Homo-oligomer: A and B are copies of this chain.
């Protein structure tokens, strides 16, 4: 994360940065005069937003070398009296007071890949005052079967006739390549062939790191069309609700109607949502697609059911193992 290009692409993701800025302004009354901790502050942009929103003090914590530049940015913007940049892991830092607000942009691809969620939970348990605010407050990981013939035909079927040459000997390699690891790419709402289901809904006020050790859900969705399923797509949204606001939480038991109603309700409420769904404006997270080696044809209204289990890799806890069953 000391690589400048990563920060450039994150900050230039306006869907992301605008959502955080709006969330801070929405909660400005709460933040004013309060103490904030920014977990994984990077360039310090969220800390500056909080200081400008009236925070009394912001602890901006980052384990990477970018903390050096964050500190210079704080000085250049005359906020050195408000923002304390700390170069270190949040698990190791020592600050002089408990905090009223924890803000963090911790989400990775498909929410949980290389995510900093465990650090946020650690900071919450150690440093957040009772009744404090966590931004974002809730996160939901969604999944749905997807169809993507353009991509399949372009990288698999392609080999059957290349300049009039039968290169189908390469088809098994192409299928293996396409399906052996998740693909980070942008798909559109038209690629999604059922209502999405909720893999996991995380309430950042109560979620524990133990719950993260194995996330599993069963699903049962109905195809909206006659189409080949090429795999499953994963995406997420996060919300920025206050500690007192009751959030109509989604779970893996939520029906499509629950999800639609929640979307509608949000549109009328004063809440901020950062969505990385295929039907919404693209973000630097794109979507995560688990391609099958071979497509599976479904008819309209056909039931697709199974289970999905996500567990941190034992060798590298920031990586994930995904076990998907589907019939």
A residues neighboring B (CB under 8 Å):
3-5, 7-8, 11-12, 17, 21, 43, 45, 48-49, 69, 72-73, 76-77, 155, 158, 162-163, 165-170, 173-174, 176-177
Contacts and interface: CB of A to CB of B under 8 A. Distances in A.
Nearest to A72: B169
Contacts of A168: 76
A43 B167 CA distance: 8
A155 B8 contact: yes
B76 A7 contact: no
Contact of A43 (B3, B45, B170, B176): B170
A235 to B, nearest CB: 24
Contacts of A173: 4, 69
For the complex of A and B, 9 pairs with smallest distance between CB atoms: A72-B169, A4-B173, A76-B166, A69-B169, A4-B177, A73-B169, A48-B165, A4-B174, A73-B167
Contact of A177 (B5, B49, B165): B5
Contact of A21 (B4, B76, B163, B169): B163
Q: Is the interface of A mostly helix, strand, loop or mixed?
A: helix
Contacts of A45: 162-163, 165, 167
Nearest to A5: B177
A79 to B, nearest CB: 9
A4 B178 CA distance: 10
19 contacts: A3-B177, A4-B170, A4-B177, A5-B155, A8-B155, A8-B174, A11-B163, A21-B163, A43-B170, A45-B163, A45-B165, A45-B167, A69-B170, A72-B169, A73-B167, A73-B169, A73-B170, A76-B167, A76-B168
The oligomer's copy count stands at 2
Contacts of A163: 11, 17, 21, 45, 49
A127 to B, nearest CB: 25
A111 B177 CA distance: 28
A167 B12 CA distance: 13
Given A4-B174, A177-B4, A11 B162 contact: yes
A49 B163 CA distance: 9
A73 to B, nearest CB: 5
A162 B76 CA distance: 13
A167 B76 CA distance: 8
Contacts of A5: 155, 177
Nearest to A71: B169
A153 to B, nearest CB: 12
Nearest to A177: B4
Nearest to A2: B173
A77 B166 CA distance: 6
Contacts of A12: 158
A149 B182 CA distance: 36
Contacts of A48: 165
A73 B165 contact: yes
A320 to B, nearest CB: 22
A19 to B, nearest CB: 13
Contacts of A174: 4, 8
